[in-house]
C-alpha cells in the first residue's frame, strides 16, 4: 500500500496545482471539489486518505462502491461519488451508497435510481459525449436538454450539472475544446456543475470552469491490477 508520507506529498502537490489553476482562472479554491478516485485501492488506503482530511471519494464500479461504503461507514463526513457507468441491475448500490452520481446517460438507470433512492435526493451529473467518440458513453449534446427534463420529472434525483470524458491524450491541451464545449452547454441549460478533468488534465478543466475534478493516479499512484 502507498506509504503515508508519499500520500501526504502527493496530496500537497495536487492541492498546489489546483490552487494555481484556480488562481490563473480568477477563481477561489473553494469553487473546486477534489474527488479522490480510489478504484481498485483497498479500504485501508481510503481510511488513510480520510485521516489526511480528504472526504470525497470516487468509485467506478457499483459493487466496489457498495463494499467500501460498508467497510468505511464509521468515517464521519465521508462522501461517495459513483463516477462510472451503471447497469440498471446495479443501480440499487449507487442509490444506497452514493452522494453524487457522475455518469447518468440512460433513462432506465435514472428510473431505477429514483425508485431505489431514499433520503436526500441523489445529485446527478449527466454524461455528455462532446467529442462524438464511438467508444465513449454519454449523450449527444443535442439530446441533453430533453433528457434532463425527463430526469427532473423523477422523484429523488437532482440534476447537478454535466460531465464529460474527453479523448485520452498525453497533452492536456487536447482536452480544452471538450471542456469549453461542455461549459458552454451547461451555461445554455442553466446548470452550474461541471464534472470534468482527471489526473492528466484537471488543471485545464479548472481553467475552463470545472467544479468537480476526479483525480486518482496523481494521489495514489497506479491502480493495482484487476
Which residue is listed with cell 447537478?
Answer: 160
Is residue 225, in this structure, part of any structural domain at all? no
Is residue 151, in this structure, part of any structural domain at all? yes
Q: What is the pLDDT of residue 226?
A: 66
This prediction's pTM: 0.96
Is residue 208, in this structure, part of any structural domain at all? yes
Is residue 226, in this structure, part of any structural domain at all? no
Q: What is the pLDDT of residue 189?
A: 98
CATH classification at residue 116 = 3.20.20.10
Is residue 84, in this structure, part of any structural domain at all? yes
Q: What is the pLDDT of residue 131?
A: 79
Is residue 37, in this structure, part of any structural domain at all? yes
Q: Which domain holds residue 32?
A: 4-220
Domain count, the chain: 1
The 10s digit of each residue's pLDDT in 154-182 is 999 999 999 999 988 999 999 999 999 99
Is residue 202, in this structure, part of any structural domain at all? yes
Distance CA 162, CA 65 (A): 21
Which residues does the chain have with pLDDT short of 50? none
Amino acid at each position: 500500500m502507498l506509504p503515508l508520507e508519499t500520500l501526504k506529498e502527493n496530496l500537497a502537490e495536487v492541492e498546489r496545482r489546483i490552487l494555481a489553476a484556480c488562481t490563473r482562472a480568477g477563481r477561489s479554491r473553494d469553487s473546486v471539489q477534489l474527488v479522490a478516485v480510489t478504484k481498485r485501492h483497498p479500504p485501508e488506503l481510503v481510511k488513510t486518505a480520510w485521516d489526511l482530511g480528504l472526504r470525497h471519494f470516487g468509485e467506478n464500479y457499483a459493487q466496489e462502491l457498495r463494499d467500501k461504503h460498508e467497510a468505511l461507514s464509521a468515517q464521519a463526513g465521508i462522501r461517495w461519488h459513483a463516477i462510472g457507468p451503471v447497469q440498471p441491475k446495479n443501480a440499487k448500490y449507487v442509490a444506497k451508497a452514493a452522494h453524487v452520481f457522475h455518469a447518468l446517460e440512460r433513462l432506465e438507470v435514472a428510473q431505477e435510481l429514483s425508485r431505489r433512492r431514499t433520503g436526500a435526493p441523489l445529485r446527478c451529473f449527466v454524461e455528455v459525449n462532446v467529442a462524438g467518440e464511438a467508444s465513449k458513453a454519454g449523450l449527444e449534446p443535442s439530446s441533453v436538454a430533453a433528457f434532463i427534463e425527463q430526469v427532473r420529472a423523477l422523484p429523488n434525483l437532482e440534476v447537478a450539472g454535466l460531465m464529460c470524458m474527453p479523448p485520452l491524450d498525453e497533452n492536456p491541451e487536447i482536452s480544452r475544446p471538450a471542456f469549453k464545449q461542455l461549459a458552454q452547454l451547461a451555461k445554455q441549460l442553466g446548470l452550474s456543475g461541471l464534472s470534468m478533468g482527471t489526473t492528466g488534465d484537471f488543471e485545464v478543466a479548472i481553467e475552463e470552469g470545472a467544479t468537480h475534478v476526479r483525480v486518482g493516479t496523481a494521489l495514489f499512484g497506479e491502480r493495482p491490477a484487476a
